[in-house]
Amino acid sequence: MTERQGPDASETVVTPGGTRIVRSEEFIQLLTPEGERVEAEGFTYDHDDATIAANLRHMVLGRRFDTEATALQRKGQLGLWPPALGQEAAQVGSGAAVADLDMIFPSYREHSVALMRGIDPLDMLKTFRGTAMVDWDSVAHRFHLYSFVIGTQALHATGYAMGMQRDGVVGNPDPADNGAVLVYFGDGATSQGDVSEALVFAASYDAPVVFFVQNNQWAISEPIERQSRIPLYRRATGFGIPSVRVDGNDVLAVQAVTEWAMDRARRGEGPTFIEAFTYRMGAHTTSDDPTKYRERAEEEEWRGKDPIARVRSYLLARGAIDQAWLDALEAESEELGVRVREGCLELPEPVLEDYWELAYATLPPGLAEQRDAYLAYEAGFEGEDAR
């Protein structure tokens, strides 16, 4: 019998014989909010301070881009924006575990991962400004297009992973010949049928896919305790998939856990489910107001666990970075902010004719006639504004 269950707390289980067992639901953590290294059973961080500093840079630049995009939406320059404030460690730590043959399937919030994969930030703004569809080269960047339908990318990722199996890109003797798939979604998506179906297929066929859920604890206005009676990572166990819960605000732990999961997927040992326990410090999207559904004290508590502050504290204490390093990063961040602000306003307006060309490699004759007729109709209005 379970006496009390909570996704963010321990669970007290009473056995049929009356024994009370407190089962810890703590996560894997390697760096505390105060910036101190700690040990975690089964996981170590095998990289040097230079790698951690590189992660800090990605986190700072990711937050700056996100902040600028949020401001642009508030000024009416974007129709909508999904902020990622507070989730930088979950994204950068997992993104750092990706190798050359891997493929990433994001939702619509993995802005820091996208920047790490070389996606132009202005390309990310096009959809939200309404000037273009999502159109970066997903193969070249190993980063699939954003998915705006909740959870559907879990199926795409699993199918792609099964394809990699059949293409012989999994379980080869040389690790450099192997790849795997990393798919992101939020806690709310775990309630979608698509995610459950993906877990079934991944488990059944040992697909080389890592399911990475960023549990930011709010599916818009629904708190996690209303979404799930158990911690999210334990849902995967029911599908027969190994699962791990990690401190999502600890970039070291996230990288270590994701590297382990991706390595076992590449070796052909099947899927893994990672729950990165983090917090969304901003709104779900700029269309909602979190002050209407959660307490200010909760937000303040999590600001004390800021993923960037703890890494910065750690590196400064180690002497791995100094104020000059931070000043240079601030200058780089400011340069990115200016480029995003100015570049957004200069994104080219869509041209109607292009949509026919983009839809088909060879335009069918019937649609070509429709295109010509519509363009002729539109041309009939030229000069009207001047009159």
Catalytic residues, by residue number, are 280, 284, 293
Residue 244 phi, psi (nearest 5): -140, 140
User: HSE on the CB side for 63, CA within 13 Å?
Assistant: 20
Query: How far apart are the C-alpha atoms of 198 and 153, rounded to whole Å?
Result: 9
Task: State phi, psi for 152 to the nearest 5 degrees.
Answer: -65, -25
Which SS3 state, helix, strand or coil, does residue 53 take?
A: helix
- The answer for residues whose C-beta is within 8 angstroms of residue 186's C-beta and 6 or more apart is 107, 109, 150, 213, 214, 215, 216, 219
Contact by Cβ (8 Å): 340, 121: yes
Which ranges constitute the DSSP H helices of 283-360?
296-303, 307-318, 323-345, 352-359
Cα–Cα distance measured from residue 108 to residue 71, given in angstroms and rounded to the nearest whole number: 18
> Cα–Cα distance between 124 and 118 in angstroms, integer?
11
Output the CA torsion sign for 307, 312, 313, 319: positive
Q: Any idea which residue has 């924006």 for tokens? A: 81
